[in-house]
Amino acid sequence: MKGKVMSIIPIFIPHAGCPHQCVFCNQKKISGQKTASAEAVRQQIEKYLQWIKPGKENEAAFYGGSFTGLDMNLQEELFKPVDKLLQEGIIGSVRLSTRPDYIDEERLALLKKHNVSTVELGVQSLDDSVLELAGRGHNAASVVKAVELLRAHGFKTGLQLMCGMPGQTEASFMDTVAESIALKPDMVRLYPLLVIKDTPLEETYRSGKFTPLGVEAAAELCAAALQKFTGNGINVIRIGLQPDDELCSPGNIVAGPFHPAFGEIVKSMAVRNELMPQIMALVNAGRSKIKIYVPQNMESKLRGQHNSNIKCWQKMGACIEVIKTKNASIYLEGENNE
């Protein structure tokens, strides 16, 4: 029997909850909205009520800004329309995102009172020097503390991580991935850093002091991270920013690895990396005529953009034939290449 499909009611709150200015952030641009108010929350909810099928599996999600950084009274106000949805059985839970240093006992008590079940932390990096260059205003220790508090109070915890930050090397990013795994989050989101209009980073970029990653380099890093997280049983629920109208409005993305199919590119690279050792072993054993059996819904991931994965394996000396299968997973067969 199939489970009920979960619907998410996204509610964007703007920068107002955050007195910081991370170098890469223009939260008003990303959320496309100027002020946080209960009325704005109501209006956003209204749009979704027309088509949502009521049920406990549905969730309201506050995105953007730093929710728990808002004045406590304003938080209470913003929760009111959501509390109504919970009482009417239209949704069963609430999630939100915030900064790690805005987590404490008092704030968590308020979230509990309003049925918040998942808290996502904007972590970005666990390298203190990278956090400082980004103007984050918190350190890695505050992330560890926040995760411990959230777990102690029974919240599901998500970590949002970024690659391509100023001063961040590949080693620094992969160390952050390893340290994040050790924190045992329930879920992770991966974002490549983009240079957004009207941010401090735009100036640094225009003065030539910062160069963002290209799509391929950013995707390679995210693919390596994706493999590590999934290999440790941690769900990666989003890769790359949502390409909505506001983010994609002309001139808004100044530079950086933006691609509307970024997540798909990353997943394809992860498949390429995962199959690489098996293909290499078959080639080295003289069985380079390789049949790859693939479930139909995974064929494009297996091939990669413009067959990039197939071309990569061919360069290793493999002769690849892709065969669709009804099996649930990918498997390989190698034959002697006579």
Residues that bind ligand SF4 (CB under 6 A): 15, 18, 20-22, 25, 27, 65-66, 99, 122
**Given the complex with ligand SF4, which of 69 and 81 has the nearer CB atom?**
69
8 A C-beta contact, residue 12 and residue 32: yes
- CB burial of residue 34 (10 Å; 0-12, 13-18, 19+): exposed
**Given the complex with ligand SF4, which of 121 and 226 has the nearer CB atom?**
121
**Smallest distance, ligand SF4 to C-beta of residue 52, A:** 27
**Smallest distance, ligand SF4 to C-beta of residue 164, A:** 15
**Smallest distance, ligand SF4 to C-beta of residue 218, A:** 18
DSSP of 88-140, one letter per residue?
Answer: TTS-SEEEEEE-GGG--HHHHHHHHHTTEEEEEEEEE-S-HHHHHHTT-S--H
**Given the complex with ligand SF4, which of 122 and 212 has the nearer CB atom?**
122
**Given the complex with ligand SF4, which of 136 and 272 has the nearer CB atom?**
136
Q: Taking Cα atoms as reference points, which of 30, 26, 217, 209 lies closest to residue 133? A: 209
**Given the complex with ligand SF4, which of 31 and 58 has the nearer CB atom?**
31
**Smallest distance, ligand SF4 to C-beta of residue 124, A:** 8
8 A C-beta contact, residue 58 and residue 5: no
Distance CA 193, CA 258 (A): 9
Distance CA 15, CA 184 (A): 28
**Smallest distance, ligand SF4 to C-beta of residue 238, A:** 16
**Smallest distance, ligand SF4 to C-beta of residue 134, A:** 8
**Smallest distance, ligand SF4 to C-beta of residue 123, A:** 11
8 A C-beta contact, residue 39 and residue 13: no
**Given the complex with ligand SF4, which of 69 and 334 has the nearer CB atom?**
69
8 A C-beta contact, residue 24 and residue 134: yes
**Given the complex with ligand SF4, which of 17 and 334 has the nearer CB atom?**
17
Question: Phi and psi dihedrals of 143, rounded to 5?
Answer: -70, -45
Distance CA 42, CA 47 (A): 9
